[in-house]
């Protein structure tokens, strides 16, 4: 390795890398801000403009776009040597480049004419060229790879084909994400969801198998649930990730102390209260049979008293914002129990694949407009119970019917083709009397039958989106039974 080109936006670690390369006898080419940083550090470099004989121009838009640069990168050793010699093109053996931060700058609400200047041209051209010619050129785009590069340069003079190919793969993955981000932004200037939508997930990790042992699966992601790794216990499974995503999505609905238990992608226990141990027990008691082997998510630190309760039964995963040292010691006795730290939401659009394509969905912030449509207003306790029930309803597979009081779900009916059947399942699952409870529906009631079933079970109030052509019939039935009913105007189907 005789010559390297260094041109980076992110200057982290570049001085140490350049110094190591210089000490190894490697000639350094550099341009723009990188050249200034290295000159200031006293590291000998050759300016790209001096090397090519052309100055930087057009406010820095044109620096490295020159045959002496790209010929040096793309020239095939042993094939293009004569052409390179004829045109005085020296080989460039190492390219260290990272790109203008277009993705970061889109978050700063810049005018388009300013943002355009953060679309890198020379950088992508150089790293794509180097990656294409990986058999002869090493290309490094991530400062996290500098330590390994410096160690290698200090101990040996060459890199294997496999090593160069590994670095080249990173280039094409980065370019796919970079160009995708630009495409999405420019299309998105006119449409929230454009006709071409690009997405890339990194940090892929193989899982033991998919939903079932005969299926192959991996998880991808660097933030949110997709980036989560257990603090202890077995590796996460495909189904674990699905269930944790469901549990955390519902948990984020609550600001107050709350616990959520999920089994097979549906909540089977939800409760709020004063102390996290008592809240967990209340959630578990909603459906203790289903809670066994479930996923537990809480929004307060796991301390000793809660850890003892968790350790007294079998659960697959416990998610919490933090764990006390004493709790960690207790939970270590459950060797297979996975512990995850509760993450901030990643905030991406939801993407689901279908045969031949994908569905992409963005969920804007919605504000329900509650409207009392019956003769009787809900009491304060009924209103509090309605709020809890609707939060749960959003995260239950439709058709969803939820019975609740102001502190917890009492009966959860999920995933039935008939709304009445969901109500009957919720009633059959209830471990506590439903007298005085409220019931929530994720979509409008097409007939009064669901309300009748709920009332006969003891519910005194009902909350639903409204919007059926038979709303008046349902309202009349609620008034006849002296029930309070509220319309929200927002449907929460979850398929």
Query: pLDDT grade, residue 50 (50/70/90)?
Result: confident
Q: Write the pLDDT tens digit of every residue in 290-309.
A: 999 999 999 999 999 999 99
Domain that holds residue 78: 3-188
Query: pLDDT grade, residue 137 (50/70/90)?
Result: very high
Report whether 340 contacts 317 (CB < 8 A).
Answer: yes
The answer to whether residue 240 is domain-embedded is yes
β-bridge pairing 266-272 and 258-263: antiparallel
Average pLDDT of the residues in 236-265: 96
Q: Write the pLDDT tens digit of every residue in 379-432.
A: 999 999 999 999 999 999 999 999 999 999 999 999 999 999 999 999 999 999
Query: pLDDT grade, residue 253 (50/70/90)?
Result: very high
The answer to whether residue 426 is domain-embedded is yes
Best CA proximity match to 417, nearest among 393, 402, 401 = 401
The answer to whether residue 201 is domain-embedded is no
Looking at the structure, do residues 75 and 29 belong to the same domain, yes or no?
yes
Average pLDDT of the residues in 121-149: 93
Query: pLDDT grade, residue 1 (50/70/90)?
Result: confident
Q: Is the pLDDT confidence value at 55 over 80?
A: no
- The pLDDT value recorded for residue 249 is 96
Average pLDDT of the residues in 43-71: 81
> Rounded to whole angstroms, how far apart are CA atoms 290 and 294?
7
* DSSP H or E run through 169: helix 161-188
The answer to whether residue 129 is domain-embedded is yes
Beta-sheet strands, E only, within 392-488? 401-404, 409-413, 438-441, 461-464, 484-487
CATH number of the domain residue 50 falls in:
3.40.50.1380
CATH number of the domain residue 329 falls in:
3.40.140.20
Looking at the structure, do residues 462 and 332 belong to the same domain, yes or no?
no
The answer to whether residue 203 is domain-embedded is no
- The pLDDT value recorded for residue 256 is 97
- The pLDDT value recorded for residue 120 is 86
Report whether 458 contacts 434 (CB < 8 A).
Answer: yes
Query: pLDDT grade, residue 70 (50/70/90)?
Result: confident
Looking at the structure, do residues 134 and 262 belong to the same domain, yes or no?
no
- The pLDDT value recorded for residue 191 is 82
Looking at the structure, do residues 415 and 469 belong to the same domain, yes or no?
yes
Among 320, 341, 362, residue at a domain's last position: 341
Looking at the structure, do residues 19 and 163 belong to the same domain, yes or no?
yes
Looking at the structure, do residues 335 and 375 belong to the same domain, yes or no?
no
The answer to whether residue 376 is domain-embedded is yes
- The pLDDT value recorded for residue 196 is 87
Average pLDDT of the residues in 31-42: 90
The answer to whether residue 148 is domain-embedded is yes
Average pLDDT of the residues in 206-213: 94
Over pLDDT 70: what percentage of the chain? 99
Looking at the structure, do residues 252 and 167 belong to the same domain, yes or no?
no
Tally of domains in the chain: 3
Q: Taking all residues of the chain, what is their mean pLDDT, rounded to a whole number?
A: 93
The answer to whether residue 237 is domain-embedded is yes
For 326, residues 6+ apart whose C-beta sits below 8 A from its C-beta are 303, 304, 307
> Rounded to whole angstroms, how far apart are CA atoms 222 and 233?
20
- The pLDDT value recorded for residue 4 is 94
pTM: 0.85
Looking at the structure, do residues 62 and 171 belong to the same domain, yes or no?
yes
Q: Write the pLDDT tens digit of every residue in 453-480.
A: 999 999 999 999 999 999 999 999 999 9
| Bond before 399 cis per omega within 30 degrees | yes
Best CA proximity match to 480, nearest among 380, 391, 376 = 376
Tokens, residue 157: 């003079």
Q: Catalytic residues, which ones? A: 132, 264
- More confidently predicted of 244 and 70: 244
- The pLDDT value recorded for residue 294 is 96
Please tell me the least confidently modeled range out of 108-112, 152-156, 404-408, 420-424.
152-156
Angle between helices 449-457 and 471-480 (to 10 degrees): 20
Tokens, residue 44: 């000998």
Q: Three-class SS of residue 354?
A: strand
- The pLDDT value recorded for residue 48 is 84
- The pLDDT value recorded for residue 65 is 79
Q: Is the pLDDT confidence value at 64 over 90?
A: no
């Amino acid at each position: 390795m005789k010559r390297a080109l260094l041109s980076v936006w992110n200057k982290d670690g570049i001085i140490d890398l350049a110094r190591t390369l210089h000490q190894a006898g490697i000639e350094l080419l550099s341009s723009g801000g990188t050249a200034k940083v290295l000159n200031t550090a006293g590291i000998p470099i050759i300016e790209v403009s001096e090397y090519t004989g052309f100055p930087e121009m057009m406010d820095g838009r044109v620096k490295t776009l020159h045959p002496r640069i790209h010929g040096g990168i793309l020239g095939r050793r042993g094939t293009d040597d004569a052409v390179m010699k004829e045109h005085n093109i020296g080989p460039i053996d190492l390219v260290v480049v990272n790109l203008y931060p277009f993705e970061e700058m889109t978050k700063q609400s810049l005018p388009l004419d300013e943002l355009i200047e953060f679309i890198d041209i020379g950088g992508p051209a150089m790293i794509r060229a180097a990656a294409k010619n990986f058999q002869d050129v090493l290309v490094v785009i991530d400062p996290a790879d500098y330590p390994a590069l410096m160690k290698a340069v200090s101990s040996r003079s060459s890199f294997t084909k496999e090593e160069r190919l590994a670095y080249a793969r990173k280039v094409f993955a980065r370019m796919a994400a970079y160009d995708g981000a630009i495409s999405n932004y420019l299309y998105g200037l006119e449409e929230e969801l454009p006709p071409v939508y690009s997405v890339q997930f990194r940090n892929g990790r193989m899982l033991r198998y998919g939903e079932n042992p005969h299926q192959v699966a991996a998880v991808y992601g660097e933030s949110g649930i997709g980036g989560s790794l257990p603090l202890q216990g077995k590796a996460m499974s495909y189904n674990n990730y699905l269930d944790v995503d469901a549990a955390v999505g519902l948990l984020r609905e609550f600001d107050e102390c709350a616990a959520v238990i999920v089994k097979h992608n549906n909540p089977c226990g939800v409760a709020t209260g004063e102390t996290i141990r008592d809240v967990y027990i209340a959630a578990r008691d909603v459906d203790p049979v289903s809670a066994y082997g479930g996923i537990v998510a809480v929004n307060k630190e796991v301390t000793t008293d809660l850890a003892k309760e968790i350790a007294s039964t079998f659960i697959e995963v416990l998610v919490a914002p933090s764990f006390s040292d004493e709790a960690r010691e207790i939970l270590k006795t459950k060797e297979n129990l996975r512990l995850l730290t509760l993450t901030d939401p990643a905030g991406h659009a939801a993407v689901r694949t279908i045969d031949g394509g994908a569905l992409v969905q963005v969920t804007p912030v919605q504000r329900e407009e509650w409207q009392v449509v019956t003769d009787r207003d809900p009491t304060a306790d009924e209103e509090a119970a309605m709020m809890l029930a609707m939060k749960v309803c959003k995260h239950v597979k439709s058709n969803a019917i939820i019975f609740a009081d102001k502190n917890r779900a009492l009966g959860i009916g999920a995933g039935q083709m008939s709304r009445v059947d969901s109500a009957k399942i919720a009633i059959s699952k209830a471990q506590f009397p439903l007298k005085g409870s409220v019931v929530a529906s994720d979509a409008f009631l097409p007939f009064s039958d669901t309300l009748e079933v709920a009332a006969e079970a003891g519910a005194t109030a009902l909350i639903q989106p409204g919007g059926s052509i038979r709303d008046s019939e349902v309202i009349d039935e609620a008034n006849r039974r002296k029930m309070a009913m509220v319309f929200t105007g927002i449907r929460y189907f979850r398929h």
